[in-house]
A and B are shown apart, each in its own frame.
Chain A
Amino acid sequence: MKHSLILEVNGERHEIAVEASATLLHVLREDLDLIGPKKGCDSGGCGCCTILLDGRAVYSCMVFAMSAQGKKITTIEGLPKDGKLDPLQEAFIQSGAVQCGYCTSGMIMTAKEFLANSPAPGDPEIRRAISGNLCRCTGYHKTIDAIRTAAFSR
């Protein structure tokens, strides 16, 4: 049985009908056709699905879509401002932090919240911040470079 739901995603309002059991990840990808948040495990283990919910980085596969009503949802698609990439997105490109890119959206969203709360992070703090985002390609090295660059270019 479907329930009607209003979601605010990247500043846009959407009216959709969803199953009570639908996750936010599922709804974002299948009902709203957003490709940014990715399914890596669908069980809260990898972080590929990370989005911001009222500014907090959460695994969208672990959030029921219906509980996201009334909250501000931001996906990677919502990061650029006035056609300009977010400094994190720019830094990921410049630092060589993108290989297969599947973890990238989740990494950037996690880093986005982290940097909002950490004015001058050291590398150990950055590592802990992204420890919930798995990556098999990069070894995290250039990912940390990118986050550090974005932090200190502010």
Chain B
Amino acid sequence: MSKLNIVGHSVLRTDAYDKVTGGKGYTVNLRLPGMLHGKLLRSPHPHARVLRVDTSLAAKLPGVKAILTAADVPQIKYHPVYFSPSEAASMVRDMLILATTVRFAGEPVAAVAATRPEIAEEALELIRVDYEPLPAVFDATSAMQPGSPQIYEHAPKNIVMNPSFNFGDLQKGFEEADYVFENTYRTQRVHTCYMEPRVCVVDSDTSGNLTIWSSTQHIFGLREKLAFALGIPISKVRAVKPEYIGGGFGGKLDMGFLEPVAALLSLKTGRPVRIEHSRYEDFITTARNPFEVQMKTGVKKDGTFTARSAKSILDTGAHATHGAVVLMVHGFFGFLLPYRCPNQTWEGMTVYTNNIIGGGFRGYGAPQAAFAVESQIDEICDKLKLDPIEFRLKNAHVQGEPHPFDPNFTLSTYRLADCLEKGAKQIGWSKRLPVGASPGTKKRGIGFACQPLWVSGCMGFPDIYEHSGAILKLNVDGTVNLAIATVDMGCGQNTVLSQIVAEELGVPVTAIRVTHADTDTVPFDAPSHASRVTYSAGNAVKAAAASAKKRVFQVASGMLNTAPENLEIVDSRVQVMGTPANGISLADVVKRAESPYVKMVPDGMERSPIEEKGTIMGIACLAPSSNPSPSAVQFVEVEVDTETGEVKVLRVAYAHDIGKVINPSGAEGQVEGGFQQGLGYALMENLTFDPSSGACLAADFLNYKMPTAVEMPPEITSLWVESDEPTGPFGAKSLAEPCLIVPAPAIANAIYNAVGVRVRDLPITPEKILAALGKLDPA
């Protein structure tokens, strides 16, 4: 491969200047003339029938322009998840825009649009709702017991999905085992904590056409879901891509109540309507699903897996939404696939409760699985005195094998072994002390966890979109417009895609301008999720650039009097390969294509060939040809204060095979940010609810403990194991999620090494450590 000038370099974020000088591009800034403000009235009851909604007093409040109740909205059941078609067989359509039965504390029952937000708030207070409270249930296990409140008619025992998969002969596998381990692990509900709240503005015209701006991870999904829920043709909805959003992490991967409500209020009033979530509303809108994972594992004395079985219970809350898919990702990429074992069984259950809805969150079921799987492996190695690194290698997949999920694909690049080696060296694994051997009251320990197999997008997964498209337009000043539906939620998608285009086209990255896009004008791109943008959208923009280049060469070949195959673009100059002096600027080529066919010159007129005329564009719409697997390992060193139970993470070494690293600084940023989320997940974050009313007890940043700069370790080293993935743009695979999947089990394993305490439910709080050390007085 020729030398790369832009890909592989830590190019500065293309939107950083704007963000450090104010940040114009967030949806939260949008104001339209005549705009009204909408607010949602939310049920205080976790489970209730709405008997009557009296809006008469609210309607009289000056400034109130429209009120909606369930009677005013289409009663079309939908599912809000962007990455799956509305009518996908594997998704559960159990949501209504406004319902007459509420199933979680906070479910909206009415909405108001007013000239000022304060008036809308006041109007909510004037709406009188008569509820008939129903018995509620708040944990999945209880929800499945006979006699528990039945939350939906379509889900007996509140079980909405119950897939199971068997491979090989589990019974035989356990018979062959020298040792069998049975453990249960539990994870908690945590909030995505994107800093820009969920917010939208919807405008309409008198023909019922809607334009929507939303802080969203997917404009095409928003268009599709909004049209479906409103019962209108898809062409009546135009979703505009935000320039960038203030974080998503999977929490903006579905349509909320706010978007269809704002749309209906706009249609009713004929004015734009804005709805912004308060932080409280965001806390009760989306969360990582809590899981209980019961594992039974059989191994030979040398550590080879002979049988693995697990049962996973997912609490999806009041609506199935992501719960249908999180379960499968958890089961397959969390449990069944990461390691080789001939005899495996997994059963999953997605269970309704009267808790808040579980949404998407980076890792999507895998962090919950990794906590269980990687903790248990550590427990097995400790019991059997096996080397945990050797254990993983013994049971790992091998490069070149068929992909465990879809044998149509191959593990063309697979470098788990290198990641283990590099990470171990960086952390000083060979100097690790035996369990509890660290001296003093503040004990140090080292542990690690892997995500051996992951995804680069969703190619091959049933009922999940995976295709992308891009439009490039070359300008007469040598710049290039990139119009693509991909949303930059902070990971640097705009920058990475610009790098890929620039590298392919032979122009500086500063020449690329990511421009306006909306669902009317650009090709479909699947959401910014599932670690897919670099690989999938990256392939699309690279192909679009190649297509633009062809046209550039067509025009330039006439100007330079040579066949198009002889040309190349280097540093914005179109030149003949081998004789770079024979060339012209790219800008001049574009000018030629865009200039009048006939040009007036001092002594008459000049014509250039008609074939050269016409804007130079490059368009590509495609699906990627594979789903290559990255591999990730994280080693951590912790210090556990045996007097307070407090855990500090001192050092992190993270080794990840992501194929070609497109932007090293950006990639490090992903790992560092992922660790903040993983650290919070492991040690402190917990979205708690009152066990009798379902009311959220941690719906603000003082009560919800998210790591600040003080809690983060001073040292996080990212080690890239580069490989050349043949199906990825410039050899790239994916990055985004494994760095959040591995921290919790790595920390749990390090804690065990430090103090011999094994905590099997997250978060691992000081209380749990002290209790396990026998230092808490029984109450």
Contacts and interface: CB of A to CB of B under 8 A. Distances in A.
A141 interface: yes
A76 B22 contact: yes
Contacts of A40: 195-197, 279, 701
A93 B12 contact: yes
A89 B491 contact: no
B709 A144 contact: yes
A38 B671 CA distance: 25
Contact of B490 (A38, A99, A130): A99
A85 B673 CA distance: 26
Nearest to A96: B665
Contacts of B118: 19
B677 to A, nearest CB: 7
Contact of A137 (B22, B278, B669): B669
A67 interface: no
Contacts of A131: 708-710
Interface string A125-154: 011101111111111111110000000000
- Looking at chain B, what size class is its interface with the partner chain? 35 or more
Given A77-B22, A139-B672, A98 B710 contact: no
Contacts of A137: 247, 490-491, 669, 673
A54 interface: no
Interface in B195-216: 195-197
A37 to B, nearest CB: 9
Nearest to A98: B16
Interface in A103-126: 103-105, 108, 123, 126
B701 A46 contact: yes
Contacts, number: 181
B709 A127 contact: yes
A58 to B, nearest CB: 16
Interface stretch (B23-31, B292-300, B363-371, B619-627): B23-31
A138 B195 contact: no
Nearest to B706: A134
Contacts of B246: 38, 100-102
Contacts of B556: none
B278 A96 contact: no
Contacts of A99: 13, 490-492, 669, 673
A48 B195 CA distance: 8
A70 interface: no
A99 B702 CA distance: 24
A151 B472 CA distance: 41
Nearest to B191: A136
A103 B676 contact: no
A136 B247 contact: yes
A69 B207 CA distance: 48
B20 A100 contact: no
A144 B492 CA distance: 19
Q: Report which residue of A128, A137, A140 has the largest number of chain B beta carbons within 10 angstroms of its beta carbon.
A: A137
A8 interface: no
A59 to B, nearest CB: 11
Contacts of A77: 21-22
B450 interface: no
A135 B491 CA distance: 13
B626 to A, nearest CB: 28
Contacts of B588: none
A36 to B, nearest CB: 4
Nearest to B22: A36
A136 B279 contact: no
A76 B709 CA distance: 21
A148 B467 CA distance: 42
A136 B23 contact: no
A35 to B, nearest CB: 5
Contacts of A92: 16, 20
A77 B19 CA distance: 11
A136 B702 contact: no
Interface residues of A, number: 52
B666 interface: yes
B279 A93 contact: no
Q: Report which residue of A39, A44, A94, A103 has the largest number of chain B beta carbons within 10 angstroms of its beta carbon.
A: A39
Contacts of B673: 99, 135-139
Interface in B1-47: 10, 12-13, 15-24, 26, 28-29
B194 interface: yes
Nearest to B678: A139
Given A46-B195, A96-B665, A143-B709, A102 B491 contact: no
A82 B591 CA distance: 36
A127 B710 contact: yes
Interface in B685-708: 700-702, 706, 708
A36 B23 contact: yes
Nearest to A104: B19
Nearest to A123: B714
B244 interface: yes
Contact of B672 (A85, A100, A104, A141): A141
B489 interface: yes
Contacts of A133: 708-709
Q: Report which residue of B489, B675, B712 has the largest number of chain A beta carbons within 10 angstroms of its beta carbon.
A: B712
Contacts of B21: 36, 76-77, 79-80, 85, 89
B701 A134 contact: yes
Contacts of B352: none
B486 to A, nearest CB: 15
B20 A102 contact: no
B193 interface: yes
B245 interface: yes
B23 A102 contact: yes
Contacts of B709: 126-128, 130-131, 133, 135, 140, 143-144
A103 B19 CA distance: 9
Q: Report which residue of B13, B16, B192 has the largest number of chain A beta carbons within 10 angstroms of its beta carbon.
A: B16
Nearest to B283: A41
B659 to A, nearest CB: 21
A42 B20 contact: no
Q: Report which residue of A38, A48, A142 has the largest number of chain B beta carbons within 10 angstroms of its beta carbon.
A: A38
Interface of A: 19, 34-36, 38-46, 48, 76-77, 79-80, 85, 89, 92-94, 96, 98-105, 108, 123, 126-128, 130-144
Given A99-B669, A141-B669, 16 more contacts: A34-B22, A35-B29, A36-B22, A76-B20, A92-B20, A100-B196, A101-B244, A102-B196, A105-B20, A128-B709, A131-B708, A133-B709, A134-B701, A135-B709, A140-B712, A143-B709
27 contacts: A36-B22, A36-B23, A38-B195, A43-B279, A43-B702, A45-B702, A77-B21, A92-B20, A98-B13, A98-B19, A101-B19, A102-B23, A102-B26, A103-B195, A104-B23, A128-B709, A132-B708, A135-B195, A135-B676, A136-B193, A136-B194, A136-B247, A137-B247, A138-B676, A139-B671, A139-B673, A140-B709
The 9 A-B pairs with the shortest beta carbon distances in the complex, nearest first, are A100-B490, A45-B701, A101-B19, A102-B246, A139-B672, A102-B195, A41-B279, A140-B709, A139-B676
Interface of B: 10, 12-13, 15-24, 26, 28-29, 118, 192-197, 244-247, 249, 278-279, 489-492, 665-666, 668-669, 671-677, 700-702, 706, 708-710, 712, 714, 716
